[in-house]
Amino acid sequence: MSKTSAEKFGENMKRIRLEKGMSQSDLCHSLNFDPAYISNIEKGKQNLTIGTMEKIAKALNTSLDQLLK
């Protein structure tokens, strides 16, 4: 079964976050998001707006393209 866009985004977000040595808590604080929201994104259970995806990309210092591939 192929992965949804939300699942791919979440996996990439988690991978990039870990590569940068950031915890979910670090990301929550930089974005002012609830920890459960970040967790749901990484699990692919949260559909996001383009604006939210752009904020996450900026917080991770990466491109939106890297999060969506």
The total of structural domains in the chain comes to 1
**Is 36 contained in some domain?**
yes
**Is 68 contained in some domain?**
no
Span 4-63, pLDDT tens digits? 999 999 999 999 999 999 999 999 999 999 999 999 999 999 999 999 999 999 999 999
**Which residue segment(s) compose the domain that 43 sits in?**
5-59
**Is 69 contained in some domain?**
no
Q: What is the CATH number for 35?
A: 1.10.260.40
Measure the CA–CA gap between 1 and 34, rounded to whole angstroms.
30
Stated pTM of the model: 0.92
**Is 19 contained in some domain?**
yes
Helices (H), the chain: 5-19, 24-31, 35-42, 50-59, 64-68
**Is 39 contained in some domain?**
yes
